[in-house]
Amino acid sequence: MAGNAIYELSGVSRVYGDVAALAEASLTIRQGEWLSVVGPSGSGKTTLMNILGCMDTPTSGTILLDGERLDRQGERELAVIRRRRIGLIFQKFHLIKHLTALENVMVAQYYHSMPDENEAREALERVGMGARAGHLPRQMSGGEQQRVCVARALINSPSVVLADEPTGNLDEANEQIVLDLFHQLHDEGTTLIVVTHDATVAAQGQRQVILRHGRIDQVVETDDYRRAFGAAAVDGQVA
Ligand code: ADP
Ligand code: MG
């Protein structure tokens, strides 16, 4: 239900040698929320994203996704959770360069369940890339490649989309196209967690988590967040 916790983090740390990339992070993220994660380079943004995205596990602390403990799962279990529930978007696209846009989306389907060309075409149409289905990544601009990545991320109808600097390699016009897609997803109830350096991108979120030296330094809520989730959201219940 919208407003319930999708993620609950309690004292989550990720230590590499003697570096705490993430230190004692406690945070509740709501279903349907658009959360921005900001902070200087090296502050732990990608580390947090990797843990939320089931690509890494904390060295201590607890993290729940839809009430299920992630910190106790092995790699294989995490991969299953990731495929079923999480859509990932990266700054560097990570498209397979010798496959077309359509084939790149179908690879994601293959890992999720079963390739379905019609569904893959629909996903590309949704991001305005239907006419480019047969094009290779090098035949597309950065913005177009990122739209293919959004289509790829949506293939499993994820309840949460995690994006790490999704507009970092895009010009302003393409940044706007990607943000428009994010607004559509948010309007449809998808939870969005977006790591960004860009103040314009960060300002689209309903809350901003500001990381410094691996710690959550500040959480800034907008009025929109309060309207959507209210004071009652604090204890995990929304009437
Ligand atoms: P950000 O995404 O905010 O730039 P990161 O989460 O990538 O920050 O990194 C946070 C800190 O953790 C940095 O000091 C970085 O050097 C360190 N770090 C990240 N990943 C590793 C790793 N695999 N091994 C060792 N140190 C790491
Ligand atoms: Mg990073």
Ligand 1, atom 19: closest residue by C-alpha: 21
Q: Calculate how far, in angstroms, residue 57's C-alpha sits from the geometric centre of ligand 2.
A: 16
Q: pLDDT of 1-49, one tens digit each? A: 567 999 999 999 999 999 999 999 999 999 999 999 999 999 999 999 9
| Pocket flag, ligand 1, residue 158 (CB < 6 Å) | no
For the range 111-120, what are the long-range contacts, defined as Cβ-Cβ under 8 Å and sequence gap of 24 or more? 111/83, 112/83, 112/84, 112/155, 112/156, 113/156, 119/155, 120/151, 120/155
Ligand 1, atom 5: closest residue by C-alpha: 44
Q: CA 123 to CA 3: how far, in whole Å?
A: 27
* Amino acid 236: pLDDT: 44
| Pocket flag, ligand 1, residue 41 (CB < 6 Å) | yes
Closest CA relative to residue 63, chosen from 6, 137, 131: 6
Q: pLDDT of 159-173, one tens digit each? A: 999 999 999 988 898
The position carrying tokens 């732990």 is: 44
Residue ranges per domain, the chain? 33-52+74-235
pTM for this predicted structure:
0.91
Q: How many CB atoms lie under 10 A from the CB of residue 215?
A: 17
| Pocket flag, ligand 1, residue 50 (CB < 6 Å) | no
Question: Which residues have a Cβ under 8 Å from the Cβ of 224 and sit 6 or more positions away?
Answer: 206
pLDDT above 50: residue 117: yes
Name the closest ligand to CA 48. 1
Q: Which CATH class is domain 33-52+74-235?
A: alpha beta
| Pocket flag, ligand 1, residue 47 (CB < 6 Å) | yes
